[in-house]
């Protein structure tokens, strides 16, 4: 029997995959930092100009618009979060009896009934 000759490992030209990934991540981080600084300078000024155009130079109108936007931008996410939470809660309640095997209310009611019966049927101590 003859054994096949082992050939020397062939090295692929170029950078290893981990180096390419590291460079890609570094480039993305630099792009995100630059975008952050640009938007941090631009967005507040742009938003202030939009509100100023709504208020037409009136201080009280500016306060009213600010309160309205603050109220709406606070309540809408809270209402959305509550709706999502209720759906999540409803799904968990439906999944619980399947996971346990019986309805948990029935099981607790049976345990409570046994406790009441044992207390009522216990022998009364006589003097």
Alpha-carbon distance of 76 to 34, in angstroms, equals 31
Number of domains in the chain: 2
Tokens of 71: 């109220």
How would residue 29 be classed by pLDDT, with cut points 50, 70 and 90?
very high
Alpha-carbon distance of 67 to 54, in angstroms, equals 13
Q: Is 105 inside a domain boundary?
A: yes
104, pLDDT greater than 90 = no
% residues pLDDT > 90 (the chain): 45
36, pLDDT greater than 80 = yes
Q: What number is the average pLDDT over the span 63-74?
A: 94
Do residues 50 and 67 both lie within one domain? Answer: no
How would residue 67 be classed by pLDDT, with cut points 50, 70 and 90?
very high
CA-to-CA separations, 52 to 44, 56, 74, 75, in angstroms, rounded: 12, 6, 21, 23
Least confident of 37-41, 53-57, 73-77, 100-104: 100-104
Which residue from 34, 38, 58, 35 is spatially nearest to 46, judged by alpha carbons?
38
Which residue from 29, 10, 13 is spatially nearest to 21, judged by alpha carbons?
29
Q: Is 86 inside a domain boundary?
A: yes
Do residues 99 and 46 both lie within one domain? Answer: no
21, pLDDT greater than 90 = yes
Where are the alpha helices (H) located in 1-127, listed in sequence order?
A: 17-55, 59-100, 104-120
Q: Is 127 inside a domain boundary?
A: no
């Amino acid at each position: 029997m003859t054994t096949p000759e082992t050939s020397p490992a062939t090295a692929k030209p170029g950078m290893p995959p981990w180096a390419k990934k590291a460079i890609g991540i570094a480039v993305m981080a630099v792009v995100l930092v630059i975008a952050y600084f640009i938007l941090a300078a631009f967005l507040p000024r742009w938003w202030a100009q939009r509100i100023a155009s709504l208020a037409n130079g009136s201080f009280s109108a500016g306060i009213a618009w600010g309160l309205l936007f603050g109220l709406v931008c606070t309540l809408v996410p809270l209402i959305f979060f509550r709706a999502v939470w209720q759906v999540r809660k409803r799904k968990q309640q439906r999944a619980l009896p399947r996971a346990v095997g019986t309805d948990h209310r029935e099981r607790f009611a049976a345990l409570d009934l046994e406790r009441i019966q044992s207390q009522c049927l216990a022998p009364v101590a006589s003097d």
